[in-house]
């Protein structure tokens, strides 16, 4: 599991958990995804726009493996009226 570097722009702790859950539910099943990371733009309760980055992770127990999306970082962005998918950024 990758632990994100602490930095001033990571505001994941300030985004409400129910908003994080809505974002991860909108990504679809992690088992079928080929991407390691995905980003979702959310509007928080206090009407701020945030981009949350989710990482695809795996939990194994015996022969069974379960894939899931885990929120790893979030940044506030200028507010946009309509939710839009975020373009993938190459690292």
Range of the domain at 46: 12-77
> pTM of this prediction?
0.74
Task: Give the residue with greater pLDDT, 50 vs 87.
Answer: 50
Mark 4-43 as b/e (b = at least 16 C-beta within 10 Å).
eeeeeeeeeeebeeebbeebbeebeebeeeeeebbbbbbe
For residue 39, tell me if it sits in a domain. yes
**Tens digits of per-residue pLDDT, 41-59?**
998 877 888 899 999 999 9
Cβ(91)–Cβ(27) below 8 Å: no
Tokens describing residue 58? 């795996």
- In angstroms, the CA 11 to CA 89 distance is 19
In a domain, 88, yes or no: no
Backbone angles phi, psi at 76, to 5 degrees: -80, 140
Number of domains composing the chain = 1
Q: In this structure, are residues 54 and 70 in contact, taking their beta carbons and an 8 Å threshold?
A: yes
């Amino acid at each position: 599991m990758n632990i994100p570097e602490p930095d001033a722009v990571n505001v994941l702790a300030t985004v409400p958990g129910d908003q994080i859950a809505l974002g991860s539910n909108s990504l679809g099943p992690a088992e079928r995804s080929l991407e390691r990371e995905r980003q979702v733009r959310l509007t928080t309760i206090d009407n701020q726009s945030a981009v949350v980055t989710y990482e695809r992770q795996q939990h194994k127990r015996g022969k069974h493996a379960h894939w899931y999306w885990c929120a790893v970082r979030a940044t506030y962005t200028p507010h946009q009226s309509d939710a839009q998918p975020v373009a993938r950024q190459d690292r």
